[in-house]
Chains A and B, each alone.
Chain A
Amino acid sequence: MSPLLVLLRRELALTWGRGGGPLPALAFYAGVTTLLPLAVGPQPERLAVIAPGLAWLALALASLLSLERLFERDFEDGALDLLALGEPPLEAVCAIKALAQWLATGLPLALAAPVAALMMGAPLALTPMIVACALVGGLAFAFVGGLGAALALGSRRGGVLIAVIVLPLFAPPVIFGGGALDLAARGLGGMSGLLLLCAWSAAAVALSPLAMAAACRNALD
């Protein structure tokens, strides 16, 4: 079995060991999407208009959870040394870790997103677009989030620092995805927004492993 496949299996096993796999993120997501309607007030029509956007934003926030332990634990117990001394380059190691993060939390969240949007009154016809945005955007959230986690290595209160680093970088995908959902809700397709989101995700997947690896090397030095 190739070392990267071995690593992916370990990372997926660790996401469960790190604290219940997708469950905390899903629970957080359910909590936020339940609270939002309470804050907006008792007007289902108004809620239905903003439901897709709220579901999308809550998803971006939920994907911040559990990022803190992505590199920190391996850094503390010395496993990052082992990963840095393997045959695959550190960039590939970081990409696999971010991919595992997406598989463990991004995928389940993408399946939960349309349910949350429907609960808040979004039209059923919007479901495919919501799932597509959540799947593609989740990939960008995982890779950019991984970059934040690598940059925060070794700092105390890393979780807050990760959020501060990562939230500005979440702005473009949130805008593209929100735009796609808005256009789709008005019956104008929304493919342009989705394609922009795809482009952003592709750039995040291609570039952030380089930065993650550099940040890890810096932390190990």
Chain B
Amino acid sequence: MISGLLVDNLTIRRGERTLFSGLGFSAAAGEAVALTGRNGAGKTSLLRAVAGLLRPAAGEVRFAGVEDAGEARARGLHLIGHHDGLKGGRTAREELTFAARWSGGTAADIDAAARALDLGRLLDLEVRKLSAGQRRRVALARLVAAPRPLWLLDEPLAPLDSLWRQRIGEVIAGHLAGGGILLAAVHDPLPVAARTVEIGA
């Protein structure tokens, strides 16, 4: 299980443009890190590099507690961004069930997630019929439905109203209390105590 994250001297380049270079920070179990920075600074690219989807130009990402980075990523992290992976034409239940089971969740976990995010009535609707906030709740439900220690979230709260920002804050607090780690790209402050890392300062 991942018990810490270390970003070491990371440089990310997109084409000819260097987004940031020499970025380093770490996060221990139970810690939340808020990534801030102007639009296009490279917050999303950093999250994708931590997830192993994007090859950094220099530097590396290491995970404490698991020897092999590939192994750590395959079992230990969730990445949820603007493209949430939900299919508009399928029901919220089908999409949540697939995402959760694919990530190692059980039927009991899925029920717990539906309760935690109050999805009850939404589950039988097609995803395309949900509002942006409802859709985000369905996407975030997989965090609860398939417990994994490292959460990489890209603007997780953007479409949510104040009530749901608070409720997601409680979910995140529970995750951190259980030894989880959160790395979130945000513009507004996170509803939990978090260290701030500014990208491209």
Whether the Cβ atoms of A13 and B81 lie closer than 8 Å is no
Instruction: Determine the residue in chain A with the shortest Cβ distance to B142.
Output: A82
Given A13-B90, A221-B53, A221-B54, also A81-B102 (CB < 8 A): no
A14 surroundings in chain B (CB, below 8 A): 87, 90
Interface of B (DSSP majority class): loop
Quick one: which of A6, A77, A83 contacts B86, CB cutoff 8 A?
A77
Whether the Cβ atoms of A17 and B83 lie closer than 8 Å is no
Whether the Cβ atoms of B85 and A3 lie closer than 8 Å is no
A7 surroundings in chain B (CB, below 8 A): 102
Quick one: which of B48, B75, B83, B94 contacts A87, CB cutoff 8 A?
B75
For the complex, is A85 an interface residue (Cβ under 8 Å from B)?
yes
Task: Give a binary string over A179-221; 1 marks a CB under 8 Å from any B CB, 0 the rest.
Answer: 0000000000000000000000000000000000000010011
For the complex, is B99 an interface residue (Cβ under 8 Å from A)?
yes
Quick one: which of A77, A83, A220, A221 contacts B102, CB cutoff 8 A?
A83
Whether the Cβ atoms of B81 and A81 lie closer than 8 Å is yes
Whether the Cβ atoms of A17 and B87 lie closer than 8 Å is yes
A73 surroundings in chain B (CB, below 8 A): 87
Cα of A13 to Cα of B74 in the assembled complex, Å: 25
Whether the Cβ atoms of A6 and B98 lie closer than 8 Å is yes
Q: Nearest chain B CB to A74's CB is how many angstroms away?
A: 8
Whether the Cβ atoms of B87 and A79 lie closer than 8 Å is yes
Whether the Cβ atoms of B101 and A17 lie closer than 8 Å is no
Whether the Cβ atoms of A82 and B104 lie closer than 8 Å is no
Q: Nearest chain A CB to B49's CB is how many angstroms away?
A: 10
Task: Give a binary string over A61-75; 1 marks a CB under 8 Å from any B CB, 0 the rest.
Answer: 000000000000110
Instruction: Determine the residue in chain B with the shortest Cβ distance to A217.
Output: B53
Whether the Cβ atoms of A85 and B87 lie closer than 8 Å is no
Quick one: which of A81, A85, A86 contacts B83, CB cutoff 8 A?
A81
Quick one: which of A3, A77, A79, A81 contacts B53, CB cutoff 8 A?
A81
For the complex, is B51 an interface residue (Cβ under 8 Å from A)?
yes
Q: Nearest chain B CB to A39's CB is how many angstroms away?
A: 38
B residues 29-53 near A (Cβ < 8 Å) are 48, 51-53
Given A3-B102, A85-B73, also A77-B83 (CB < 8 A): yes
For the complex, is A24 an interface residue (Cβ under 8 Å from B)?
no
B185 surroundings in chain A (CB, below 8 A): none
Whether the Cβ atoms of B85 and A85 lie closer than 8 Å is no
Whether the Cβ atoms of B81 and A85 lie closer than 8 Å is no
A residues 40-85 near B (Cβ < 8 Å) are 73-74, 76-85
Cα of A14 to Cα of B89 in the assembled complex, Å: 9
Instruction: Determine the residue in chain A with the shortest Cβ distance to B127.
Output: A77
Whether the Cβ atoms of B89 and A85 lie closer than 8 Å is no
Cα of A78 to Cα of B79 in the assembled complex, Å: 10
A10 surroundings in chain B (CB, below 8 A): 98
Cα of A78 to Cα of B82 in the assembled complex, Å: 8
For the complex, is A1 an interface residue (Cβ under 8 Å from B)?
yes
B104 surroundings in chain A (CB, below 8 A): 3, 87
Whether the Cβ atoms of A77 and B55 lie closer than 8 Å is no
Whether the Cβ atoms of B83 and A221 lie closer than 8 Å is no
Quick one: which of B54, B83, B94, B103 contacts A78, CB cutoff 8 A?
B83
A221 surroundings in chain B (CB, below 8 A): 53-55
Whether the Cβ atoms of B101 and A81 lie closer than 8 Å is no
Whether the Cβ atoms of B102 and A76 lie closer than 8 Å is no
B81 surroundings in chain A (CB, below 8 A): 78, 81
What would 21 A/B residue contacts be, using CB atoms closer than 8 Å?
A3-B102, A6-B98, A7-B102, A10-B98, A13-B94, A14-B87, A73-B87, A77-B86, A77-B88, A80-B85, A81-B81, A81-B83, A81-B85, A82-B85, A84-B53, A85-B51, A85-B53, A85-B73, A86-B102, A86-B103, A87-B74
Residues of B at the A interface (CB closer than 8 Å) are: 48, 51-55, 73-75, 77-79, 81-90, 94, 98-99, 101-104
